[in-house]
Structure 1
């Protein structure tokens, strides 16, 4: 055993209590990235005997979704403290679509002295990070394209506003220079985002180069790229689709590579050669680094770089290793049939093949049968045994074509390909049965074909497995919960049904009524009970989320739970720790929604709508300090936006960050017009007006004395308490604490 690994385990074993680590992020967990990070963290936690609390929020709506994922994320911040946690793994860059870089850095820097390790690309003061080397990764791709395929005209396709993509563009330029290849600025394409429409817009510029060429699909044309290196598998996938729409084939007309080893790379019609970024390993090493930091307080803050690997697939005109390995010297698995003795020369063989293929493949077009005939003839008559099989290449194109033509009939595609491979084998083997070496060569080609088929089957299987937002027994649970009349009945339904979802257990904490914050809650249910006598303690008050008593977690073995906040129709109801035996985060999202919806329904029925609930103060009182220009209409008049409509919208979204794109879309106008009109009507920018309304509500919440400053900041959509304090002072001239002291 490695000495450092042994030292970590000895340290943990000697502790009086186990370590508990959390993981925080906002991510699309239908992608490989989030799932691999999570899997690596959970495996390391299990290997070292560390408890794990998953505190992430998923951006993809789940089956019963009703909630804002960003609001869910902010509600989890009070949990990210000691004594609940001994350390936290952050994926800070996952928050960049929702928070400014400076806000993210401040959010996590303020968590000190809690030990943190980051697995993203944002620098957090005093926090070590685990990253990949973009220069090395791009170098691997350029080296493969240049040395293996002899390409010299390699284009780059990335995203304009993504920092990682900008870094990869710089790495691309370095790698091209390292191999003595020209960097042509006209071959650099940057989309506005990873969205399909933005990638397609840039792809059209590339397609214009093809359309202007005398030989549009000829790679020999010196004005066209031979390969395109993209900064993301998602971009590569969209690019291949756009090419196919315009009759350009990958990899036959042009090679394409990706980056990230995401699901899109496997499900593309031409599986994408890419870079695996070792997400699992980075998650695993984050746990190890946290342990090291706790073992040794003087652990030097640094950046840890994890090596990446090149993943060869078919989009660059290569085959996977499994397919190549299958095309080795293996004996036929049965004795070939007797030679067709009437076939004596090349002309007759060609005639025999043509008739046999027409009979065996009636659904193929005449051109497809002709290219298969050419491929079979080349494999039979080509004396160079090491050449790539033309039959193998033909079938690769068929898989790509059928995948693209029939995306909803994958099972049918696989079945038809199996029949086609068997039919071709029956046609070819009689021609070579008296020639042992040639027979072996042809049989090896069919070994490779079966492997090619198996590889694509595996890609399809992975695609279905990682599409985790499929119903299992959730509908059964939904029906059971919907028939409950009170919390006790709801708890009993959970006990009966939760096992059908392969969920090991749940701890349910409720606020007792609808609230605007998660301060005091009660532990209402623990299932299954991990220690005798715990049930007799319930319900048990918990003053703050970070003070949740760890004795309610299992003691005899490390636990892994996912924290889910119960939130519905703008109200907090409590939270739950759901025990994990899978990284299928969609399952826990759906459980959260089912629990929240039904608890909300029960609380409404029981009129637990919140004597403690801090509802939005009367709107007129909130806006009395905000200048509003008089308008004839309360909403929109004469094609112009009314001030009251603007204020109403901002009040409706007072617990969110100001999102001009979303707001402009709501009113059906451009962002620039919205901004200009808001300024005309109120004298404030939209952002400033939103902040002033938030601060008016904050003053009311402070006066009520029922919420802490941090909770007020979170409730009103501020990314962290410092930002809230700064805005409060900008509007009122006082810090929130100073305002409270003067009441």
Structure 2
């Protein structure tokens, strides 16, 4: 087995320099790093990163916490995409990933406590933000490095978070429907315990208010009312005495389920009802009809949450920051001007 001393001798540097190259120390020039790495590759030297982590009291592992069990979360294509961004940056910086497996809020909290107390990870990414979250409070109280994908409901100036301008983009989406002549617009999906739902509802209401349209609570269907699925959402909409002509849905997955349920009811999209959504998943372009959606930069949310977490891990004095990822409205075929609707 090749040793670090043999690499150092071949590269004509000290063993400590090889160690610093492995750790990607900024004190070592790029020229020296390149020379040492070439020798390592030629000799077949693979550093024992686990032993180095133990010696440094570091795991080089990031905990990633889902809002629910991983099995349930992966049913929504948003999470594989945000994890792709996390994985890309973690790989680039030689960090591993530890996914939460808890199925309830209590189990998730206990798992985070175990991660922190057992030093199983160096930092944590929360892939959600709730209005009340003892896990986030626990991490703050213990000074443990973490970042949040989503706007913290409290203490946002003390927490590094990566988010979209959810108020602004939902306002834009609602205005898009208003400009098509729709005034009876429903909002479907989301849990009001999550900050993203609160912010998007706020943007929806602001757009209506600025257009001089009264807010109607009967047009709001959150997950607790429609079980978070498209079939129940369509059933609830069909039971309204005055049905909406357009719908803002919280994510593409729900929108696709609703389009399928509308088809069963012989209601056409967009001829009879227009639908818009968020996330711009890959399947949105190929659905029937292709879905108008806001691209929220899901990959980038995960990538930057990881980047700023690693900064915090490696420099605990790093100031907290709120980072807003730009979003873009992708116009497709799921909306039509009201004059063309027949519902």
TM-score, with structure 1 as normaliser? 0.33
Is the 8 Å Cα contact of residues 76 and 253 (structure 2) preserved in structure 1?
no
Counterpart residue number, 2:324: 305
Counterpart mapping for 1:260-279 below 5 A? 260-262=279-281, 265=284, 269-279=288-298
Partner of 2:46: none
1:614-639 C-alpha deviation (Å, 9 max, x unpaired): xxxxxxxxxxxxxxxxxxxxxxxxxx
For residue 87 of structure 1, what is the aligned residue in structure 2?
123
**2:229 corresponds to:** 195
Report if aligned partners of 2:209, 2:215 keep a CA contact under 8 Å in 1: no
Note the 1:633-652 alignment, pairs <5 A.
none
Cα–Cα, structure 1 residues 73 and 265, in superposed 2: closer, same or farther, change >3 Å?
farther
Partner residue in 1 for 2:96: 52
1:312-344 CA deviation, whole Å, 9 max, x = no partner? 2321159xxxxxxxxxxxxxxxxxxxxxxxxxx
Within-5 A mapping of 1:546-585? none
The Cα offsets for residues 9-61 of structure 1, whole Å up to 9 and x where unpaired, read as: x99611796772413223411322211121111111223x23122222286xx
Looking at structure 2, the residues matched to 289 and 85 of structure 1 have their Cα atoms a distance apart, in angstroms, of 16
The residue that corresponds to 1:613 in the other structure is: none
The 1:205–1:274 alpha-carbon spacing in structure 2 relative to 1, beyond 3 Å, is: same
User: Equivalents in 1 of 2:110, 2:78: separation in Å?
Assistant: 22
Say whether the 8 Å CA contact 1:159–1:166 is kept in structure 2. no
Q: How does 1:378-417 map to 2 (within 5 A)?
A: none
Task: Work out whether 1:151 is the aligned partner of 2:181.
Answer: yes
Deviation per residue, 1:171-222 (Å, 9 max, x gap):
01212344x352352772324141345423421234x435xxxxxxxxxxxx
CA contact (8 A) 2:278 2:293 kept: yes
Q: Which residue of 2 aligns with 1:103?
A: 134
Residue 251 of structure 1: how far off its partner (Å): 0.7
CA change 1:42–1:78 in 2 (3 A) is same
TM-score, normalised by the number of residues in structure 2: 0.67
What residue in structure 2 maps to residue 13 of structure 1?
A: 24
Larger RCO of the pair (alpha carbons < 8 Å, separation 6+):
2
SS of the residue corresponding to residue 85 of structure 2 reads: helix
SS at match of 1:13: coil
> Which of residues 171, 178, 182 in structure 1 aligns to 2:213?
182
Q: 1:309 to 1:31 in 2, by over 3 A?
A: same
Change (3 A) 1:136 1:160: closer
Residues 11, 113 of structure 1: alpha-carbon distance in 2 compared, 3 angstrom cutoff: farther
Structure 2 unaligned regions, length at least 5: 1-20, 28-51, 338-343
Cα 1:70–1:136 shift into 2, 3 Å: same
Q: Match of 1:23, SS?
A: strand
Q: Is the 8 A contact 2:189 2:249 kept in 1?
A: no
Rg comparison, structure with higher value: 1
CA-to-aligned-CA distance 1:76-109 (integer Å, 9 cap, x gap): 642345754332222254xx6xxx9343334433
Q: What is the alpha-carbon distance in structure 2 between the residues aligned to residue 173 and residue 108 of structure 1?
A: 33
Distance, in Å, in 2 between the alignment partners of 1:231 and 1:185 is 18
Match of 2:300 among 281, 287, 297: 281
Q: 2:65 aligns with which of 25, 33, 42?
A: 25
Deviations 1:561-620 (A, max 9, x none): xxxxxxxxxxxxxxxxxxxxxxxxxxxxxxxxxxxxxxxxxxxxxxxxxxxxxxxxxxxx
Deviation sequence 1:220-266 (CA, Å, 0-9, x none): xxxxx442222333442343234323322101122111123357746
Give distance in 2, aligned partners of 1:57 and 1:286: 20
Gaps of 5+ in 1: 1-9, 60-67, 211-224, 319-743
The structure-2 alpha-carbon separation of the partners of 1:73 and 1:199, relative to structure 1 and needing over 3 Å to count, comes to: same
Distance 1:25 1:51, change over 3 A: same
Q: Partners in 2 of 1:145 and 1:269 — Cα distance?
A: 19
1:294, distance to aligned residue in structure 2 (A): 4.0
Matched, 1:129 2:161: yes
